[in-house]
Structure 1
Amino acid sequence: MNYQSKLKDYINEEILILQSLDLDTVNEVMNVLEDARLTGKKIFVCGNGGSAATASHYCCDFNKGISEIQNKKYNFECLSDNVPTMMAVANDIGYEEVFRFPLKNKMKAEDIFIGISGSGNSKNVVNAMEYAKSIGGTTIAIVGYDGGKIKQMADHNIHVNINNMQILEDVHMILDHLMMYVLSH
């Protein structure tokens, strides 16, 4: 079977989405993150599934990749990375609380919360963002589809406007590398 036509269609669609990104919002988010680094604020990030992997990758790239060359370092924490705590909260309280619960113990007013969600409607991410806002945190949504609830709630958002989970997750990861590249050069 020849898949070349479908492969080209996917690549061409991804190129169009990349070209349609609102670079003003990306720039705005980068400035929020740089301000957090320079003022010693903590940045919490989370997501489910592929977005959890992306959140973890953001932590690596900002905490090591960018921070390696900086005197003042980034302080990212991926809430999706602590599986034992997530499972304990999910089992004892409910899966919708796996991100809000640790924020209640760790997040301070003016810290940053980043929710990564394809749909923007993941209840556990929505709950965490609600909590972050309630204590005076700055919130960022990185979303796809129509942006969902967290796009509407967030102080800042980067919206990948496509109803294709694979392409929007690709672009969410490209955004990480794009920001890392620009901030470390």
Structure 2
Amino acid sequence: MQQLINSYTDKLSAALRMDAMQQVPVLAEAMREAWRTQHTIYFCGNGGSAGNAIHLANDFLYGVGKEHGIGMRVESLSANAAVLTCLGNDIGYDRIYAEQLRVKADKGDVLVVLSGSGNSPNIVKALEMGNELGMTTFALLGYSGGKCKDLAQHPIHFPIDDMQIAEDLQLVIGHMCMQWLCEQKAS
């Protein structure tokens, strides 16, 4: 077990020193601008990344606003099981996020997709819809970055072949942005 612990922490530490970290301030500033202008930030992902999307939406909704009297408008598109199963059944799993954005999102909103591979069809379509709607789009990616690396206006790509490290980075980056925003004000 100690060998695994050492290997894992070494990989995570090395990932945190990658050039992708230079894009984190861009994400944080886009979130601050959305907060300031009362736009909405949308998160989505699959599997563990869906769990991370829900976790981060909670952090930004409550955690950032509790010190400043107003929280951020934020939503995880991964959170509503009834909506996900309805859309998956009626129009296809590949459109579960794009359709929610089509109905809810506005120009100037922010989309943050979380994906290990960057190739999940529902994540690809979410980015396509976000770009079409005039949203500011970000993608936190592992592996090769997949199709999302080219689709996102702001890819934050860690070229690592480890899903757990990729998912850890999603939360680490989200928590860094949250802590920074806690020190800021919406206006």
Q: TM-score w.r.t. structure 1 length?
A: 0.94
Equivalent residue of 1:98, what SS?
helix
Q: Displacement of 1:21 after TM fit? A: 4.7
The residue correspondences of 1:154-169 to structure 2 (distance < 5 A) are: 154-169=152-167
- Tell me which residue corresponds to 2:80: 82
Partner deviation per Cα, 1:118-176 (whole Å, 9 max, x = no partner): 11111001111101111211111111111111121111122222110011111111111
Residue in 1 that maps onto 2:39: 41
Could you tell me how far 1:6 is from its partner in structure 2? Answer: 2.1
Matching of residue 125 in structure 1 with residue 123 in structure 2: yes
Alignment of 1:140-155 (within 5 A): 140-155=138-153
Equivalent residue, structure 2, for 1:99? 97
2:7 aligned partner: 9
- Check whether the contact 1:118–1:169 (CA below 8 A) recurs between aligned residues: yes
The structure 2 residue matched to 1:177, chosen from 175, 178, 184, is 175
Gaps (5+ residues) in structure 1?
A: none
**Is the 1:38–1:72 contact (alpha carbons within 8 Å) kept by the matching residues of 2?**
no
How many residues are treated as equivalent by the alignment?
A: 183
Segments ≥4 residues shifted beyond 3 Å: none
Segments of structure 2 that go 5 or more residues without pairing to the other structure are none
* Alpha-carbon contact 1:29-1:157 (below 8 Å) kept: no
Q: Deviations over 1:72-115 (max 9, x none)?
A: 43101100001111001111111101111111111111211111
Asked whether the equivalents of residues 111 and 137 of structure 1 are also in contact (C-alpha less than 8 Å), the reply is yes
Report how far residue 71 of structure 1 moved.
Answer: 4.2
Query: Aligned to 2:118, what secondary structure does the other structure show?
Result: coil
Distance, in Å, in 2 between the alignment partners of 1:55 and 1:64 is 14
